[in-house]
Structure 1
Amino acid sequence: MEFEEIICPNCGSTLRAEDLRKNLRCSVCKVNFHQNRYVGFLEYLMMNGYVQELDFFDKTVYGDEINHTSETEEELRDETNPNEYEENRNKIKYMERTEDLKEITTDEEEFRKWEGIDEDWQEFNRKNNEKED
């Protein structure tokens, strides 16, 4: 005795599990469940063990899902153009060149001539404070 009834998603009549195992059709409205429209119903039948052999690669049922490529497949597709990298390499070489900005820089020798360069900074500050007093 079966406690769970299977109801036809098209007409609402009660279906027998034995009939579904033989043929995936409704005995009342004669609709074929082997269509994309009834995918959820077919998966329910498979999950509960009413139907054992259902081809998940059948294009009549899963046609739309098989034809669409997943995001990872699109990401993995190699569409790199080596010429783009060659262009970028030339741009980088151009960017590495430094232009003369005509900035005035002081020689290190000028700093060496300055009397406070080798002194301790605290001593240097004490000298300046003594001169101001």
Structure 2
Amino acid sequence: MSISDFEGLICPACSNPLDEEFLAKTLTCSHCKTNLKDKKYLAFIEYLILHGIIDVNFFDHTLYGEEVGRTTEEEELHDETDPNDYEDTSKRINYDEKHDLKEVTTDEEEFREWDGIEEDWQEFNKKGETDKNNK
């Protein structure tokens, strides 16, 4: 073995040197016959693509099947919010149940004593008009 053998590519499965021309044709190791076109060796394949040794289609289902398989509807439906990330503040809020809205309420007896409650509303309005005319 020469020094140039150590400077070349090494098989990620068996650690033996790889021939670039053989890799470009078959993408298998000539020593252990391992098919390197596998998700397990994705980083190695991307290294080979980066250096221009091989050309792999990014729509190849053997390598990128999961990423390509997702549809746009699945991406839209994927909810990235986690309800556990948000603090439940309802337990910390102290509600004042005896709040005073300063509302004026009328007593029932006082309401019944009001002039005109038993009259028809039209008669009451006529009575009011006659009072205005008399003044």
Scaled by the length of structure 1, the TM-score of the pair is 0.49
